[in-house]
Amino acid sequence: MCSSCLAKPKPIEAEHFCVQCRSPFLSAYPLDEDGRCGLCRRGVRGFDAAYSFGFFEGELRELIHLFKYGRVQTLARPLGRLLSIALPRESSFDVIVPMPLHWRKRWQRGFNQSELLARDLGRRTHIRVMNALRRVRNTSSQAGLTSAKRRQNVSGAFRARKNSLEGKSVLLVDDVMTTGATAASCARALKVSGARQVTLLTLARADRRLGFDHSFRDLNFSGSVADAQSRSIA
């Protein structure tokens, strides 16, 4: 990839967003007086905060596809730089934990893209990276599911090392956030293991202001880049 292509992805810009999960909105109407959205008010989010570099569209979407499905692992470094830009400077973290893949999907892909991103970020920030999470159940695809069904699908799918994170502030790293259901399930597992706080950091997120299900159908797909690009994404 040339430097001009790598420079094309732009950071998120939104006038209205939830102060906790950073979900963008067209107006302030869905937010309460503290600036939180309905899901955060109801405590559905297992994580305490969420940050993303950009929306899952355009050049950023293409780069993530090349990284995951094209298996261009060298993209971990430039994408890790974008991830570091989204990192909240006012916060401090004890450990970085990558989103785990089920062993079968990791075997099919050959690597865990979230772990590569986490390790690059760890080198940049000098924060320890720990594979503290394990995916104990190979869940079905989230594509086409409602938010409630997505949460149900990943409920209990993750397990963290017992007492390995006692009192720690954890930075959970993933490539893309859609509804946040998977990250919420991970965050709950991390807190059961003793984590004091869990913050989610992703390269991209769905722009829910415009609708997203039609754009995310292949996020859980593990085939070739040609297969991924021939499908509409979820």
Give me the percent of the chain exceeding a pLDDT of 90.
Answer: 49
- d(CA 58, CA 61) in angstroms, rounded, equals 5
Is 194 part of any domain? yes
**pLDDT class for 215, splitting at 50, 70, 90?**
very low
Is 163 part of any domain? yes
Asked whether residue 116 carries a pLDDT value surpassing 80, the answer given is yes
Is 9 part of any domain? no
Distances (CA, A) of 183 to 13, 28, 87, 133, 228: 22, 25, 17, 11, 23
Using CA atoms of 203, 53, 196, 131 in order, give the dihedral in degrees to the nearest 10: 20
Which pLDDT score, from 0 to 100, does residue 89 have?
A: 85
Is 35 part of any domain? no
Which pLDDT score, from 0 to 100, does residue 136 have?
A: 76
CB contact set of 168 (below 8 Å; sequence gap of 6+): 94, 95, 194, 195, 196
Read off the pLDDT of residues 195-206 as tens digits, 9 standing for 90 and up.
999 999 999 998
Number of domains composing the chain: 1
Q: What is the mean pLDDT of residues 32-50?
A: 87
Read off the pLDDT of residues 85-115 as tens digits, 9 standing for 90 and up.
999 888 899 999 999 988 888 898 999 999 9
Q: What is the mean pLDDT of residues 50-68?
A: 95
* Residue of higher predicted confidence among 230 and 40: 40
pTM surpassing 0.85? no
- d(CA 198, CA 184) in angstroms, rounded, equals 9
Lowest mean pLDDT of 43-52, 65-74, 169-178, 184-193, name the range. Answer: 43-52
Whether 38 contacts 30, CB under 8 Å: yes
Is 82 part of any domain? yes
**CATH number of the domain bearing residue 158:** 3.40.50.2020
Q: What is the mean pLDDT of residues 212-219?
A: 40
Exposed/middle/buried for residue 119 (C-beta within 10 Å: 0-12, 13-18, 19+): middle
Q: What is the mean pLDDT of residues 146-152?
A: 58
Whether 216 contacts 178, CB under 8 Å: yes
Q: Which domain holds residue 67?
A: 43-230
Backbone angles phi, psi at 55, to 5 degrees: -85, 150
Is 137 part of any domain? yes
Is 30 part of any domain? no
H or E element that contains 124: helix 113-125
Is 7 part of any domain? no
Which pLDDT score, from 0 to 100, does residue 153 have?
A: 59
